[in-house]
Amino acid sequence: MRLTTMTDYALRMLIYLGQHPERLCTTAEIAQAYAISESHLTKITHQLGLGGWISTVRGKGGGMRLALPPEDIGLGELVRAVEPDFALVECLGTGNTCSLTQRCALTGIFNNALAAFLAQLDGHSLADLLPPQLPRVGVVAALKPQAVAMPLPHGSRANKTP
């Protein structure tokens, strides 16, 4: 099985947006970051917007961002929506003309394999593809270890009173 370029690019776009939640991103910058076609990304932007995964702002200073938190963007749901066809072989698709269809167990095996593949994706979200978030500056200051008074060895200068 091979996913289409559209699915690959849709995942890349969502990963990029998930890594830059603080601002609007453009198709041009994503295309440049991944060395991929901007025109393909424009089509994908439209589809992801219609699906509710991203929100877009038109005009100067516009761009896109995730419309949902990364943990709410299921990979299985996304792949099912973007991928046009899951017919691994002719007998799984429409217009089946395979003469073995009624006598072949391969159809059931492929259907089970596809179900397992999609179930694996269903167990993951966009959050699983993003690097862990770094703590904010205020949180970092709160996490700094406090100075702890360590007892000095007996006879040390600091222990002597003047």
Measured distance CA(133)–CA(71) in Å, rounded: 13
Q: What is the pTM of this model?
A: 0.74
Buried b (16+ CB within 10 A) or exposed e, 65-87: bbbeebeebbbbbbbebbeeebe
Q: Is the pLDDT of residue 100 over 90?
A: no
Q: Is the pLDDT of residue 156 over 50?
A: no
Residue-wise pLDDT tens digits, 105-153:
788 888 899 999 999 999 999 999 998 865 545 444 444 444 444 444 4
Measured distance CA(62)–CA(131) in Å, rounded: 25
Measured distance CA(88)–CA(114) in Å, rounded: 8
In the numeric block, the tokens 């949902």 are attached to 68
The confidence band for 92, taking pLDDT boundaries of 50, 70 and 90, is low
- Residue pair 21/66 in contact by the 8 Å Cβ criterion: yes
Domains defined along the chain, listed by start: 5-143 (1.10.10.10)
H helices of 35-83, in order, are: 38-50, 75-82
Please list, in sequence order, all residues whose beta carbon lies within 8 angstroms of the beta carbon of residue 100, skipping any fewer than 6 positions away: 91, 106
The confidence band for 16, taking pLDDT boundaries of 50, 70 and 90, is very high
Residue-wise pLDDT tens digits, 21-60:
999 999 999 999 999 999 999 999 999 999 999 999 998 8
Q: Is the pLDDT of residue 67 over 90?
A: yes
